[in-house]
Chains A and B, each alone.
Chain A
């Protein structure tokens, strides 16, 4: 494959600016990479013609001196984002051949800045999953393999297509979303950088809803600075999302490389989960040592309600999902399976349109919201959510950011957790608290395990303090010197 796909987003933008190559050349190289990587199943829809049209328009803009911040950069878009005239399915059969007549705000922001769309990326159905195996299009295969072992592994989920495409150098960056860890866990499993910004940073308008109080968009990128460049374009206030924050979007990239001397970093003691693999524990200690060497002060903190976060999440998220997914009734868009009467039409449409994990979550959500159980489950979970959020508020009185592992393991093999929903849910044990509290969280690749598979460290910040995360992420990246790329087998 051409060297143009090996560039980072930043160096590609510099190359375009210095006229070393054109947006069309850069896009052609990526279109070819996408075409030759079908074995990964990362893309569920390739849009090469649209990509080349957008690249030609970009070259014309640059020639006129009107290039935007991302002009000519080929990106992949998670299939959860509605893209005007381009099939958007959330990787569910129930959306069928849905072609939105509108563009999500986040993707519109990227096109405003000149980015090029290569296609739509695979994901767990409606973003419900941690392994990409719930996708109606079949799982994504992680470009990373264990040493001397060609067993297919998951790239994580739900943004598995985004993470795999970035790791395999099919695109310069990708959009993703994170409801309980869906940006950070796939980033950790693929040796890429992923950031879930503060809830409200990125507009949710035009992003297919899963759990509205938790869903947040963010980028997956090759490195910390690329993630910062992408987030700047994606973020911003949007009147069409009532929870969108009307605050200034800083130049996130300017934080990368800033000194972190004197910052206080919290190590939450409750994250030392029983049975944590020694390699993850070691990596965490290594991260502490790197930040200490950069002049940070390390402080042990307590987040006493941590172990209740996943159970609370598995009430709140399915409850919101069961309400949000009520819209798939077969009447206005997507699949319709005709039954003998209206109720049967609904029931058959939803039975055939939704996959097993989505149905399970809708049933859980319907149950915890049903008469007689609302207080015991749903209201209780919302109160526990407040406790979890209060834990963070107290910790942030003492520290500026927190450092934890991103996931409890490296990428597991496909099918490994398929029979046990709770085992699968435990993947999000370190990430889900951040969604419940609405905080920014970033995963940075920090090393590999004995099997040669990437591992990530997570940084958690105060609301709207992504800047500090980019500074700290930059330090870890620099110290870790994580340069390994998956060996090409696809």
Chain B
């Protein structure tokens, strides 16, 4: 399943990373190198094998649905690039 420039452009868009056109060709080669190697997995018989999403053999723990901490906007905003009063300032989202 070799990928081409159009696929890399699309994936970069999905990942929200601006990749300059001049970089796409070399990325195609790098990613294909990795993907070809990964295709080794096709050899493995995985019929009826349950996908393994976690190595922890315990259910997710439940707790009471109560507030444990919070109410400190100064801490939440301490590292924000732009703030106004107790808010994050972000670019316009709706045109």
Please measure, in the bound complex, the distance between the C-alpha atom of A339 and the C-alpha atom of B82, giving whole angstroms.
Answer: 15
Q: Does A307 touch B at the CB level, under 8 Å?
A: yes
Interface of chain B residues 46 through 94 with chain A (CB within 8 A): 46, 49-56, 58, 60-61, 63, 75-76, 78-82, 88, 90-93
| Residue pair A364, B54 in contact (C-beta under 8 Å) | no
Q: Is the CB of B56 within 8 A of A366?
A: no
A residues 221-255 with Cβ under 8 Å of B? 239, 242-243, 245-246
* Bound: A405/B31 CA distance, A: 29
The answer to whether B79 touches A363 (Cβ under 8 A) is no
Give the CA-CA distance A345 to B31 in the complex, in Å.
25
Determine chain B's interface SS by DSSP, over half rule. loop
Closest to B13 in A: A347
Complex alpha-carbon distance, A97 and B93, angstroms: 26
Residue of B nearest to A349 (CB): B16
Q: Which of B34, B39, B88 has the most CB of A within 10 A?
A: B34
A363 x B27 contact (CB < 8 A): yes
Stretch of A15-23, A326-334, A449-457, A473-481 at the chain-chain interface: A326-334
Contact A347 B81 (CB under 8 A): no
User: Does the CB pair A367–B31 fall under 8 Å?
Assistant: yes
Verify A311–B16 contact, CB threshold 8 A: no
B51 touching A383 by the CB < 8 A rule? yes
Tell whether, in the assembled complex, residue B34 and residue A364 are in contact, meaning their CB atoms are under 8 Å apart: yes
> How far, in whole Å, are A97 and B79 apart by their CA atoms in the complex?
8
Contact of B53 among A199, A239, A382 (CB under 8 A): A382
In the assembled complex, the CB of A36 is this many whole angstroms from the nearest CB of chain B, namely 32
Interface residues of A in 311-359 (CB under 8 A from B): 311-312, 314-315, 322, 326, 329-336, 338-339, 341-348, 350-351, 354, 359
Determine whether B6 belongs to the interface, using a CB cutoff of 8 Å to chain A: no
CB distance from A462 to the nearest CB of B (A): 13
Instruction: List chain B residues, Cβ under 8 A from A359.
Output: 17, 19
Contacts A364-B34, A386-B49: A347 and B40 contacting too (C-beta < 8 A)? no
Question: Is A383 a contact of B80 with CB atoms below 8 Å?
Answer: no
Cβ contacts under 8 Å, A338 to chain B: 91
Residues B41 and A331 in contact, CB atoms below 8 Å apart = no
B15/A422 in contact, CB under 8 A: no
Interface 9-mer from A138-146, A282-290, A373-381: A373-381
Known: A350-B16, A359-B17, A362-B15. A438 touches B55 (CB 8 A): yes
Looking at the assembled complex, report how far the CB atom of A97 sits from the nearest CB atom of chain B, in whole angstroms: 8
**A382-B51 in contact given A242-B61, A308-B44 (Cβ < 8 Å):** yes
Q: A293-317: which have CB < 8 Å to B?
A: 305, 307-308, 311-312, 314-315
Q: In the complex, what residues of B have CB within 8 A of residue A347's CB?
A: 16-18
Nearest B residue (CB) for A200: B56
Query: Closest CB of chain B to A441's CB: distance in Å?
Result: 13
CB-CB < 8 A to B18: which residues of A?
A: 344, 347-348, 350-351
Contacts of B39 in A (CB 8 A): 311
* Contact status B91-A384, CB under 8 Å: no
Given A314-B38, A362-B15, also A421-B30 (CB < 8 A)? yes
Q: A351-B18, A383-B49, A387-B46 are in contact. Are A334 and B79 (CB under 8 A)?
A: yes
- For A381, list chain B residues within 8 Å (CB): 41
Contact assessment for B51 and A379 in the assembled complex, using a CB-CB cutoff below 8 Å:
yes
Report if A385 contacts B (CB, 8 A): yes
Q: How far is the CA of A365 from the CA of B56 in the complex (A)?
A: 23
A/B interface sample: 23 pairs, CB < 8 A? A99-B78, A101-B75, A101-B79, A314-B34, A332-B79, A332-B80, A336-B81, A336-B82, A346-B16, A350-B15, A360-B30, A363-B27, A364-B35, A365-B15, A367-B11, A367-B35, A380-B42, A383-B52, A386-B49, A387-B46, A389-B52, A389-B55, A422-B33
Known: A308-B40, A360-B34, A367-B7. 9 other contacts (CB 8 A): A332-B80, A342-B91, A342-B93, A345-B91, A363-B8, A363-B17, A384-B44, A422-B33, A436-B55
* 10 smallest beta-carbon distances between A and B, as pairs: A438-B55, A382-B51, A333-B79, A383-B46, A347-B18, A351-B18, A386-B52, A336-B81, A101-B75, A346-B16
Chain B residues engaging chain A, CB cutoff 8 angstroms: 1, 3, 7-8, 11-12, 14-19, 27, 30-31, 33-35, 37-44, 46, 49-56, 58, 60-61, 63, 75-76, 78-82, 88, 90-93
